[in-house]
Structure 1
Amino acid sequence: MSYRLRRAVLAILIAFVTGGLLVGSASAASAHGFSSVAYVDVTAPQSGQVRTTLQLEYDLLVVSAADAAHDDTLFQQGTEAFENGDSVAQAAALNAHLATVTAYAEPRLTVSSGGTACTPGSVGEIVMTEQQGVPYAMFVVDQACPQTSDGHVVTSTLFADSEGFVTGTKTILTYELDGQSGSAALDSNQSSFSTEQSTGERFWEFFHLGAEHLLTGIDHILFLLALIAGSRRFREVVLAATTFTVAHSVTFILAATGVISVSARIIEPIIALSISIVAAWYLWRLWRRGEAANELDATSGPLGLDRAGWLRLGVVFLFGLVHGLGFASALGIDEPWSWTLLWSLLVFNLGIEFVQVAIIVALFPLLTLLRRRQPRLGLWAAGALAVAVSVTGLIWFVQRVLEV
């Protein structure tokens, strides 16, 4: 590698370390956004009765319910139990203030039948569960519904943006009602679900949820950018993206269906580190090979990839398995395998892949054109992108390990 180009790489590194520090510090805590996922299971034990089983993030429920009712005692007891990690004390704090919790949840999770609101009745005792290593409170609310319609509408405004604690809350609804069963995804844009909705409408809900998750998941986008920067041919970036897809699809489905469970405290730092490693991989090749960094080796193997290309695919596959666990946390569905659930998860995954392909199609041809017409400028552009992504990934890794 020439001395001039080596100095250029160092210049890029210094410039983007400074920028990366600023970006990383501002974004690490919100790589997925300060959001939450609520889980609601809806069934009909008997005619005229609808049973809603809610699972809500514990610390968020404590803060939201206490704030809405100005219940300082719940806030103090609930926060202390959360900080101590005592699930027994957490359940006790909520059950001691069941009226406060009920007053918060009931108007924000409603059921109606034939245009008439169902009447919430008995509320079961609150017990503690866990989703992706996060404590959740689970309780049952039975609702009396008029028998004027075969269709029901479920509406969720739990943990709304206007409360000021989180943004973009999703409610994952599973139901067995009105002779139908399935899943639906509710948010501020689509807060209601009807059992009379078409298959296409339910498909769109999960497709949109998957696409939105990738677009708002900065770390997953940075990983994709690292793949784009380090790919030498369109074939290579397509194979890398496909390998990533296959890998994260496997762990995504296994985690979302409860077959495997890994704490987010482990997964999130590894995701950040994977971003940095994949980006640094290209920087290492640029350092060693200089202007030949974007060339394939003289001898290529299957699918037109050389040894370095196949080794890179292996690394991408391993990190893809980790990213799949991160994708699963967006849904956190923990129930036995079923065709209905699998359909919902696959549609969610299609939304992720649509955005991923769109980013590749939009950016890689531009990078290829730049490399062909201005080779040195192409090296600078890809190197700058790789440095920025690598430094940001490292900062996130340290912050997530230290839980900054």
Structure 2
Amino acid sequence: MHLPPRGGGPNAHASRRLALARLFGVSAALIVPASALAHAVAEGDKGYIQEISGVNLISFAYLGAKHMVTGYDHLLFLAGVIFFLYRMKDIGLYVSLFALGHSTTMLLGVYLNVGINSYLIDAIIGLSVVYKALDNMGAFQRWFGFQPNTKAATLIFGLFHGFGLSTKIIEYDISPDGLVPNLLAFNVGVEIGQLLALAAILIAMGFWRRTDGFWRHAYTANVVMMTAGFVLVGYQLTGFAVS
């Protein structure tokens, strides 16, 4: 589902501009200062993981959940995916495709020790946010006359999000003793965190959709989401260039 063509008189345009300014200000305050923390490993967590060995299911599940609920790039993409989904059947399908993608590459990436430059993979994750915002705005149909397969795109970008996770887990330098069960526990934690974040997003979206302002400001919200994605891409590419 996409946004209808924008319309309205001067008052509607002024309302959109005001809402855009407010939302962009909030986005900048939340995203730009936190950009240095994208997929970051807290020093305390990193030190703890490096010191322990053996099977530590609860610890790794906690870290997985913590990573997901604080991973704003993952959450932005997830919010974009469900932005126009109303039926739980559809939400479950798309979230499952995303989970399948990031679980597969996260587990295989760590187990096979396949890492990708963290700046580049995070830039791709930022692009996934840009893509989803543009898709929600119907930009691909207007610009190119075709609609990308949204299910395939969700799965494919999920694979890249998983590589973002695996790249940071590799940086944990975790002990090979108990690696497989610990990785599975981490993945379970990621899914728990994703469900918690999804529940919060759905509750907020549910209240918003009941208001008269939802359709008036949905376009603006996706513009802000797209802007946030470009900020992430720019930050990560700058980091890659100077690193």
Q: TM-score normalised to the size of structure 2?
A: 0.77
Say what the alpha-carbon RMSD is for the aligned residues.
Answer: 3.4
Q: Secondary structure at the match of 2:112?
A: coil
Gaps in structure 1 of 5+ consecutive residues: 37-159, 161-166, 176-181, 184-201, 289-306
What residue ranges of structure 2 are gaps of 5+ in the alignment?
none
The size of the alignment, in residue pairs, is 228
| 1:226 aligned partner | 80
Q: Secondary structure at the match of 2:162?
A: helix
Q: What residue in structure 2 maps to residue 73 of structure 1?
A: none
Q: 1:22 to 1:229 in 2, by over 3 A?
A: same
Name the CA distance, whole Å, in 2 between partners of 1:212 and 1:350.
Answer: 11
Counterparts of 2:168 and 2:115, CA distance in 1: 14
1:316 CA drift (Å): 1.1
Structure 1 residue 235 and structure 2 residue 71: aligned? no
Q: In structure 2, do the counterparts of structure 1 residues 258 and 168 end up closer, same or farther at CA, with 3 Å as the change threshold?
A: closer
User: Take 1:315 and 1:9, find their aligned partners in 2: how far apart are those partners?
Assistant: 29
In the alignment, which of 57, 66, 78 is matched to residue 203 of structure 1?
Answer: 57
1:367 and 2:205 equivalent?
yes
Query: Per-residue displacement from partner, 1:331-361 (whole Å, max 9, x unpaired)?
Result: 21779999x4222111111111112112222
For 1:33 and 1:334, how far apart are their aligned partners in 2?
Answer: 14
Question: Distance between the aligned counterparts of 2:219 and 2:119, measured in 1?
Answer: 31
Q: Matched residue of 2:128: which SS? A: helix
Deviation at 1:251, TM superposition (A): 0.6
Matched with 1:47 is none
Please report how far the alpha carbon of residue 13 of structure 1 lies from its aligned counterpart in structure 2 after TM superposition: 4.0
The 1:32–1:261 alpha-carbon spacing in structure 2 relative to 1, beyond 3 Å, is: closer
Deviation per residue, 1:69-104 (Å, 9 max, x gap):
xxxxxxxxxxxxxxxxxxxxxxxxxxxxxxxxxxxx
Equivalent of residue 49 in structure 2, options 164, 167, 171: 171
**How far is 1:284 from its partner?**
2.8
- Rounded to whole Å, the distance in 1 between the matches of 2:41 and 2:114 is 25
Q: 1:4 aligns with which of 1, 8, 19?
A: 8
* Identical amino acids, percent of aligned pairs: 24
1:257 aligns with 2:111: yes
Which fold has the larger relative contact order, with Cα–Cα distance below 8 Å and residues 6 or more apart in sequence?
A: 2
TM-score (norm 1): 0.49
Contact 2:39 2:168 in 1 (8 A): no
Moved more, 357-366 or 275-284: 357-366
Deviation, 1:324, is 0.4
Structure 2 CA distance for partners of 1:32 and 1:383, relative to 1, 3 Å: same
- Could you say which structure has the larger radius of gyration? 1
C-alpha distance in 2, partners of 1:335/1:203?
A: 13
